[in-house]
Amino acid sequence: MTNLATILLFADEPSNTPTLGDSPFFWLPRAGSTTVQHVDPLFNYLMWTSAISLVLLMALMGFFVAKYRAKSRHEKPQGSTDHHTGLELIWSIVPLPVMLAMFAWGFQGFVALRTTPKDAYEIHVTGQKWKWLFDYPNGYTDDVLHVPVGQKVRVIMTSVDVVHSFGLPGFRTKEDVVPGRYTELWFEPTVAGEFPVFCDQYCGTGHSAMITKAIAHSQADFDKWLVDAGNKMDSMPPEQLGEKMYNQQGCAACHSLDGTPKTGPSWKGLFDKMETMSDGTVVKADENYIKQSMMEPQSQIVKGFPPAMPTFKGKLSDKKIAGIIAFIKAQK
């Protein structure tokens, strides 16, 4: 799995983010979920109402300017109307039903977007700087969102650090991802294909790299993918599993493999090195040190680096931890 965050943030290479594409309506991107019906028709209604209002108002303004433009400073105005009760009543009352319709329609759509159907398939989402992780019911974790077409999907989200926002423009839905609580949204993919997933709430350096994709498969393909992906992970050699974790868990955002210090120390030549901590103690970077750095990152901060690492306690199995240690060992 390519790490999009790394590519976008540090290399400026073209990403493999899918395009947003076009919908039949110029203003909106390609659609891929049943939730689209709660947004697009209403957007259309708003756009036409606004366009017509704008044209009428500006035509009136332009007409008055052209017709009543003074030829000289001495010219007097032709009229002196400064109120007209009938007119004022009309333009106070006419917008009311138009706006009431907007409100009611928007409310109805919002309730639909926020009311998750009962029989939905559940995927847990974790937002962290600057990465999305998706946990599937079988325990498999991925950094790309895979979803089955024709199945209602409930997404339960939380953040490990700051506020993010999980935005799916193709599905017309979005919700903030807040640390310390769960938020949720739902959708039902209608066509197979790939759609971009953005972080919409500003979250720092890699905010614009916090992009991944949602891949909608047919139900059969999805089921097969999930079983295969889970099995592949179980039978992976530790070092390869470690490399996968390095990209998937967001290690790559702060730890380089080529010796360049980033937010955290580089992993190149790290294993068995004597590291000086911020309190002056010198510690050998062995298995125990690495495990402790992942579980209780604030307990040992290497001198010269900010205490920025989140904890991975409870998030990684022993097998994955061993895999990461093996991968670090391999970075000679």
Residue 318 CB, shortest distance to another protein, in Å, is: 26
Site residues for another protein, 93-112, by CB under 8 A, read 95-96, 99-100, 102-103, 105-112
Rounded distance between C-alpha atoms, residue 129 and residue 8, angstroms: 14
How many C-alpha atoms does 221 have within 13 Å on its Cβ side?
A: 12
Site residues for another protein, 22-41, by CB under 8 A, read 26-29, 38-39
Site residues for another protein, 282-311, by CB under 8 A, read 306
Rounded distance between C-alpha atoms, residue 173 and residue 140, angstroms: 25
Site residues for another protein, 101-160, by CB under 8 A, read 102-103, 105-114
Residue 97 gets the label, from left (phi > 0), alpha (psi -120 to 50) or beta, of alpha
> Judged by CB under 8 A, does residue 274 bind another protein?
no
- Would you give the binding string for another protein spanning residues 242-261, x where CB under 8 A is met? --------------------
Residue 62, phi then psi, degrees to nearest 5: -60, -40
Record the tokens describing residue 172, joined without a space.
Answer: 């017309």
Contact with another protein (CB under 8 A): which of 24, 82, 118, 280?
82
Rounded distance between C-alpha atoms, residue 318 and residue 161, angstroms: 23
Contact with another protein (CB under 8 A): which of 24, 81, 118, 138?
81
| Cβ distance to another protein smaller for residue 60 or 227 | 60
Contact with another protein (CB under 8 A): which of 24, 78, 304, 332?
78
Segment (H or E) for 124:
strand 121-128
CA-based radius of gyration for the chain: 28
Residue 21 gets the label, from left (phi > 0), alpha (psi -120 to 50) or beta, of left
> Judged by CB under 8 A, does residue 43 bind another protein?
yes
Residue with tokens 């670090």: 328
Distances (CA, A) of 6 to 14, 247, 257, 265, 294: 12, 8, 12, 16, 20
Contact with another protein (CB under 8 A): which of 131, 146, 172, 329?
172
| Cβ distance to another protein smaller for residue 203 or 251 | 203
- Would you give the binding string for another protein spanning residues 55-74, x where CB under 8 A is met? --xx-xx--xx--xxx-xxx
CB-count burial class (<10 Å; 0-12, 13-18, 19+) for 257: middle
Residue 325 CB, shortest distance to another protein, in Å, is: 27
Contacts of 317 (CB under 8 A, 6+ apart): none
Contact with another protein (CB under 8 A): which of 6, 128, 173, 212?
173
- Would you give the binding string for another protein spanning residues 201-240, x where CB under 8 A is met? xxxxxxxxx-x-----------------------------
